[in-house]
Structure 1
Amino acid sequence: MSEIIVTTTEKIPGQEYEIIGEVFGLTTQSKNVVRNIGAGLKNIVGGEIKDYTKMLVESRDTAIERLRQNAVKMGADAVVMMRFDSGSIGTDMQSVAAYGTAVKFSH
């Protein structure tokens, strides 16, 4: 799937393309008991909560991969203007969305 170009820019140098439409990649992760205990301890002493950071990195990577898969299903060659959005669902779940514009190269 990594052959699909995903960029945060509007233009891809040297490429002309047609817009296919918006494309998304979504994931929701839940925090587990071990992470919650570690987070509680870090709340007391301060510092980075590495398990949560790892969870967010994994979520971001999953969202991008799903974005790529959805772009391929649409017949896209690339995704431009890719952005992330994230948020909490309740107290123990985190959602991450990767979204952008699917495009087809003009040949």
Structure 2
Amino acid sequence: MSNLDEYGGGQGPDADVLVVTTNDVPGYRVERVIGEVFGLTVRSRHIGTQIGASFKSMLGGELRGLTKTLVESRNQAMQRLVEQTKARGGNAVLMMRFDVTEAADLGTEICAYGTAAVIVPAG
């Protein structure tokens, strides 16, 4: 796995479902709006990562272990979002967003959400 995959995310060029943060997709028209979809994951904190992060926070700098965990969590939530969209017959998610919250001091909840739709080439 490259640093790009460890510290970033998003779709590859051959994705079955296009996920965008915009209201529309240039060159396409929305044929049908399916509705809201979301993908959710809750991750507990790894004790080793927490201890390392505590020491690192005293010195300053990036908390790489926590960054990797958050990237993995967001990618998993997004994959679940895509699965929900495909299951409902969609080929696109418009206005995708992430929401991250603490889950009762036990971990972090990551939710990817947006509007599932069917898009077709315009024209």
Would the TM-score normalized by the shorter structure come out above 0.5? yes
Indicate the SS of the match to 1:3.
coil
Match of 1:50 in 2: 64
Match of 2:116 in 1: 102
Q: Does 1:19 align with 2:33?
A: yes
Query: What are the ranges of 5 or more consecutive residues in structure 2 without an aligned counterpart?
Result: 1-13
Match of 2:20 in 1: 7
Q: Which runs of 4+ in 1 moved over 6 A?
A: none
Distance 1:62 1:97 in 2: 10
Give the drift of 1:106: 5.1
Which stretch shifts more, 33-42 or 86-95? 86-95
Once the two structures are superposed, what CA deviation does each residue of 1:58-93 show, in whole Å capped at 9, x if it has no partner?
011001100000000110010000001001113340
RMSD, aligned CA:
1.6
Q: Is the 8 A contact 1:2 1:68 kept in 2?
A: no
Alignment of 1:31-46 (within 5 A): 31-46=45-60
**Sequence identity percentage:** 41
What is the TM-score when the length of structure 1 is the normalising length?
Answer: 0.92
The count of corresponding residues between Structure 1 and Structure 2 is: 107
Give the drift of 1:33: 1.2
What is the TM-score when the length of structure 2 is the normalising length?
Answer: 0.81
The amino acid that maps onto 1:2 is A
Distance 2:25 2:65 in 1: 35
